[in-house]
Amino acid sequence: MLYMVRMEVNLPPDLDPTVRERLVAAEREYSQGLQRSGRIAAIWRVSGQFANYCLFDVADNEELHECVSGLPMFPYISTTVEALSRHPNALGATGS
């Protein structure tokens, strides 16, 4: 099932640089793990903001929550979540 999640990241500007680097590295590893397993189907940066759209493709609402709340940066992220379904005008498997 698909969900569109918009994430805004609010890292404090005065975060210790080492902590920040570790956080960024952990986030990258975690995110790419989810991408490899297909649970993150796509991820885009919102141009001009420390924000992204993340298209999740997971089994259910439970797995969605596990994936999102497991993000190393989750405590610094605010999200909007929308459940998606097939659009009647979508061609072939485009909308899946």
Contacting positions for a copy of itself (CB under 8 A): 1-5, 11, 13, 27-28, 31-32, 35-36, 41-50, 52-53, 60-62, 64-65, 68-69, 74-76, 79, 81-91, 94-95
Q: For a copy of itself, which is the closer residue by CB, 21 or 83?
A: 83
**CA-based R_g, the chain, Å:** 15
Euclidean distance between CA atoms 86 and 90, whole angstroms: 7
Hey, CA dihedral for 15, 65, 28, 72, is it positive or negative? positive
CB of 55 to a copy of itself, least distance (A): 8
